[in-house]
Amino acid sequence: MAATLSDQIQHAIDTKTKPLGALGKIERLARQIAEWQRTLAPVLDQATLTIFAADHGIADEGVSAFPQAVTRQMVGNFLGGGAAASVFARLNGVALRVVDAGVAGEPIAHADLIRRAVAPGTRNFLHQPAMTGAEADQAFDAGVALARATPGQAQAFGEMGIANTAAASLLAHKLTGLPLATLVGRGTGLDDAGLARKLDVLTRAAARTDGPLPPALAMAEYGGFEIVMIAGAMSGAAQVGQLVLVDGFIATAAATLALARHPEIRPALVFCHCSAEAGHRALLAHLDADPVLDLDMRLGEGTGALLAWPILRAAVAMLTDMASFDQAGVSNRA
């Protein structure tokens, strides 16, 4: 019986000039990427980071250390090249684009900004659903369409939205059943009192609806436009055979939503970074995800995915460029 492609990939990895398994996560990444691309010679040389920005009605409840205007200001900073994501994308040769998924205030005037705003921010989900079902569908579908039209072998997705750790925590709670207290953290830097207030607000918001919710309902009740659009974009990228680079806590909440709707995309997802945001480790464990990096970062914007990109490329190069014991004339273990 012929060996399966999966067996052939593992054999190729195992006969490279190194002790069995000695490249650890690099080997596991190479295997995942080769299996996803269905080839012994995977290619990973073009990636795009799309940053989705949106505002959140829940910011009215004082759940963030920063004012809402920062969402809009950071869109300018991404486009101007001064944000962390801008700097890391340039350094690592990843294309960067920015999408207005629903920033508060007047539409932002910038030639390079991609306009997909569903509304100027969500409603305050402490008192009412964050968006209508139609708005949620619009956001998800816009993400799918954008990602499907993007060239390359990999897509990363970042986010910007003051108060979006609040939305991400609650959405993840309603999708997974993990305790809210586990999923709620300091976001951009709340102090103890701010953290207690955030947990109180989210506990009351969660009580508006009963227990866990199906994904279509969860995303409308508690989502953010950028979070829902990222979930759509992850689904769309996987549908066209691309690798999905999952960033930090909020991107992982979006991935949880995407997986709830499209569980078949799981093999496309590479979890790039374990964030310092409190709930991330628990959410990653729930998804059985072993992140590539753990750099004690909690910024979002796709920064974790950008820093993991050279490591994913190294994994592919290991498989395609390293010599085997036979090729190099090196003795394998006795």
Cα 226-232-233 angle, rounded to 5 deg: 85
301 flagged as catalytic: yes
Q: State the DSSP string of 110-160.
A: -TT-EE--SSSS---TTTS-SS-HHHHHHHHHHHHHHHHT--SSEEEEEEE
- Span from 5-13, 89-97, 151-159, 226-234 in contact with a copy of itself (CB under 8 A): 89-97
69 is a contact residue toward a copy of itself (CB under 8 A): yes
Tokens of 178: 């993990």
x/- track of binding to a copy of itself for residues 256-285 (CB under 8 A): --------------------x---------
Cα–Cα distances (Å) from 274 to 145, 247, 262, 277, 281, in that order, read 28, 8, 23, 8, 6
Rounded least distance, CB 329 to a copy of itself, Å: 6
For β-strands 95-102 and 154-160, DSSP reports them as unpaired
Q: State the DSSP string of 225-264.
A: HHHHHHHHHHHHHHHTT-EEEE-SHHHHHHHHHHHHH-GG
80 is a contact residue toward a copy of itself (CB under 8 A): yes
18 is a contact residue toward a copy of itself (CB under 8 A): yes
321 is a contact residue toward a copy of itself (CB under 8 A): yes
Name which position in 8, 10, 15, 17 contacts a copy of itself (CB under 8 A).
17
Comparing CA positions, the residue from 64, 61, 146 lying closest to residue 100 is 146
User: What is the distance between the alpha carbons of residues 227 and 233, in angstroms, rounded to a whole number?
Assistant: 10
95 is a contact residue toward a copy of itself (CB under 8 A): no
Q: State the DSSP string of 31-78.
A: HHHHHHHTSSS-----EEEEEEEE--GGGGG--SSS-THHHHHHHHHH
Rounded least distance, CB 126 to a copy of itself, Å: 20
Name which position in 5, 38, 73, 196 contacts a copy of itself (CB under 8 A).
73
- Span from 75-83, 143-151, 195-203, 260-268 in contact with a copy of itself (CB under 8 A): 75-83
56 is a contact residue toward a copy of itself (CB under 8 A): no
Rounded least distance, CB 243 to a copy of itself, Å: 17
Residues between 182 and 221 with contacts to a copy of itself, criterion CB under 8 A: 188-189
User: What is the distance between the alpha carbons of residues 177 and 218, in angstroms, rounded to a whole number?
Assistant: 12
24 is a contact residue toward a copy of itself (CB under 8 A): yes
Comparing CA positions, the residue from 177, 163, 211, 170 lying closest to residue 61 is 163
Residues between 281 and 310 with contacts to a copy of itself, criterion CB under 8 A: 292-299, 303, 306-307, 310
Rounded least distance, CB 279 to a copy of itself, Å: 16
41 is a contact residue toward a copy of itself (CB under 8 A): no
Rounded least distance, CB 192 to a copy of itself, Å: 16
Rounded least distance, CB 253 to a copy of itself, Å: 18
User: What is the distance between the alpha carbons of residues 155 and 147, in angstroms, rounded to a whole number?
Assistant: 8
Comparing CA positions, the residue from 273, 271, 265 lying closest to residue 242 is 265
Among all residues, which ones are annotated catalytic? Answer: 301
Q: Which residues bind a copy of itself (CB under 8 A)?
A: 16-26, 65-67, 69-70, 73-74, 76-77, 80-84, 87-88, 90-92, 188-189, 276, 292-299, 303, 306-307, 310-311, 313-314, 317-318, 321-323, 327-334
